[in-house]
């Protein structure tokens, strides 16, 4: 293949007439050479003839946005524009959101796509998708379909080019989506569609038409079991798997006992063939990525949390009106708001009020499932650590705890096992208990369940994974639900010492 003036391709083929008969304006120039226009229609036609050509997006697209794409992002976007239904298995932190946005925008420019529905977890509707759409496709209209059924319906009817919705929201307004003119569906963290028996899977599968575009994205397509690949494969390429799940199970699993199965040696290859067409880049393969990537996950507080949070905040407003604010009492008050946000608050009498942490826990579980290596979870408050450890145990995720009351001898044992053994997969740490000196490079993902008020602790804690001996690129994920958490993370991101801004921060949150 030879590129001619960025608009045409000179191809060497055995039978030029095969191409000139199906591609308009193509021209045979010799016995085995033909010139074709380098357009999206032409490359799709060539692909159907088993002639693979790069997408014209690689040369004929201006890649809009605040940041220019990395090479792996260009390759990913090119792949997506060449495949109507496809998987993107790029690892968490590689920027696959931006890649899919550029690919969708290019297809819109070419008149191949009119409207895009992004289906994703609640926690990244704003922090990842809306923000990235504003960053990389600011010329497109964007809306988030969240809230009551009536509100979601109005947003669909308003006609934004990109609409972002959570998984369960699709079921709520399925008829409106089906009639909404969407012809490209992007499913982020697609493992939520691994089970074909769920209403979630059946609803989406019914909405997507044969001629629609569908891109399903996840960094871990079958992390728990080869059985997980069935629902994904059946959504993208139904003929790649048997009609019934039981037949798929018999292909990839051995039956050990009546209720126990284990993967066959051939399962990995079988899953690979079923989950096609697909593209995958790991963070380590993306040589142009920074060594540390920082992302945010926003999560709604429960109704109970919101009630206590707002009651406490109003009490603080009344208190401030009658006395001067010092850094010390501001820090104490802010700490109470952060405790509510994280899941448990300590009363003045020493009692503990627990809150439902299911929303925040779901976000953490998604991150753990998406991570290719082990995970560190920094949790500022002791009682929340216990609640979290219990939930992980119930879900079969192996974890250990490091906090102030764990002896030095036991800490050493836990750290050694975390570094050298398969289990524990997750280490839950009170930040002050392991912020200095410890090497925990078996993990490449750091999750902040809630923020610390110490910039030094924050930086040192992140450095537990990003240090000598780390063979993988790392991701730091901040989980935030309240305005107090969001503002503290903002100061940490800007490398501002929170204690020096405590009074201003306190008044800002109260306002």
- Rounded to whole angstroms, the Cα distance separating 275 from 132 reads 27
Q: From the CB of residue 47, how many other CB atoms can be counted at a distance below 10 Å? A: 14
The burial class, CB within 10 Å (0-12 / 13-18 / 19+), for 312 is middle
According to CATH, where is 3.40.50.300 located in the chain?
293-299+354-510
Return the pLDDT at 436: 65
> By C-alpha distance, which of 98, 5, 111, 10 is closest to 59?
5
Pick the CATH number of 60-281 from 3.40.50.720, 3.30.420.40, 3.40.50.10810, 3.40.50.20: 3.40.50.10810
The pLDDT assigned to 143 comes to 97
| pLDDT at residue 341, rounded to an integer | 94
Give the residue ranges of the chain where pLDDT is below 70: 1-6, 287, 289, 320-324, 435-437, 468
281-282-287 Cα angle (round to 5): 90
Strands (E), 272-365: 278-279, 292-298, 344-346, 352-354
Q: Are strands 85-88 and 399-402 parallel, antiparallel or unpaired?
A: unpaired
Q: Among residues 264, 226, 217, which one has the least CA distance to residue 104?
A: 217
User: pLDDT tens across 433-450, in order?
Assistant: 875 668 899 999 999 999
pLDDT at 51: 83
According to the model, what pLDDT value does residue 205 have? 97
pLDDT of residue 287: 65
Element spanning 117, H or E: strand 116-120
> Tokens 């008829």 correspond to what residue?
175
Contact 334, 502 (CB under 8 A): yes
Task: Give the fold, CATH level 3, of 293-299+354-510.
Answer: Rossmann fold (3.40.50)
Task: Give the single-character DSSP code of 128.
Answer: I
For residue range 400-430, what is the model confidence (pLDDT) as tens digits? 999 988 888 898 899 999 999 999 999 999 9
What's residue 31's pLDDT?
81
* CA gap 302, 289 in Å, rounded: 36
Residue 465 burial (CB < 10 Å; 0-12/13-18/19+)? buried
CATH 3.40.50.10810 in the chain, residues?
60-281
């Amino acid at each position: 293949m030879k590129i001619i003036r960025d608009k045409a391709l000179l191809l060497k083929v055995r039978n030029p007439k095969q191409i000139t008969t199906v591609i308009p304006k193509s021209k045979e120039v010799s016995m085995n050479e033909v010139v074709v226009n380098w357009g999206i229609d032409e490359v799709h036609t060539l692909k159907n003839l088993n002639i693979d050509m790069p997408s014209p997006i690689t040369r004929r697209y201006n890649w809009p946005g605040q940041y220019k794409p990395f090479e792996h992002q260009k390759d990913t976007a090119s792949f997506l524009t060449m495949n109507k239904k496809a998987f993107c298995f790029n690892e968490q932190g590689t920027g696959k959101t931006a890649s899919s946005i550029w690919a969708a925008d290019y297809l819109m420019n070419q008149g191949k796509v009119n409207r895009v529905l992004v289906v994703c977890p609640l926690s990244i509707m704003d922090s990842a998708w809306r923000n990235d759409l504003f960053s990389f496709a600011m010329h497109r209209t964007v809306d988030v379909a969240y809230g009551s059924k009536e509100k979601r319906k109005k947003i669909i009817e308003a006609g934004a080019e990109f609409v972002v919705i959570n998984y369960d929201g699709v079921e709520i307004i399925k008829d409106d989506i089906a009639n909404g003119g969407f012809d490209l569906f992007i499913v982020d963290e697609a493992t939520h569609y691994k089970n074909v028996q769920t209403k979630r899977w059946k609803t989406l599968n019914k909405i997507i038409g044969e001629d629609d575009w569908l891109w399903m994205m996840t960094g871990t397509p079958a992390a728990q079991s080869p059985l997980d690949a069935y629902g994904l494969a059946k959504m993208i390429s139904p003929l790649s798997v048997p009609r019934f799940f039981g037949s798929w199970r018999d292909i990839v699993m051995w039956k050990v006992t009546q209720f126990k199965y284990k993967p066959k040696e051939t399962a990995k290859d079988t899953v690979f063939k079923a989950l096609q067409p697909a593209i995958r880049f790991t963070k380590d393969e993306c040589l142009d990525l920074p060594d540390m990537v920082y992302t945010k996950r926003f999560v709604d507080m429960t109704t109970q949390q919101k009630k206590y949070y707002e009651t406490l905040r109003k009490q603080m407003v009344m208190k401030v009106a009658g006395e001067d604010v010092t850094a010390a009492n501001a820090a104490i008050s802010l700490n109470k708001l952060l405790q509510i946000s994280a899941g448990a608050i300590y009363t003045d009498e020493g009692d503990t009020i627990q809150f439902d942490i299911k929303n925040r826990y779901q976000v953490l579980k998604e991150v753990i499932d998406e991570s290719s290596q082990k995970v560190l979870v920094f949790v500022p408050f002791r009682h929340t650590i216990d609640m979290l450890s219990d939930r992980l145990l119930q879900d079969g995720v192996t974890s250990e705890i490091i906090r102030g009351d764990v002896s030095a001898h036991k800490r050493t044992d836990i750290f050694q096992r975390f570094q050298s053994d398969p289990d524990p997969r997750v280490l839950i740490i009170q930040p002050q208990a392991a912020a200095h000196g410890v090497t925990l490079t078996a993990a490449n993902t750091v999750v902040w369940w809630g923020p610390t008020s110490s910039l030094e602790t924050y930086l040192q804690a992140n450095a537990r994974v990003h240090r000598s001996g780390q063979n993988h690129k790392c991701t730091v994920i901040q989980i935030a639900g309240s305005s107090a958490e969001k503002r503290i993370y903002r100061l940490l991101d800007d490398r501002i010492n929170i204690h020096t801004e405590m009074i201003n921060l306190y008044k800002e949150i109260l306002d």
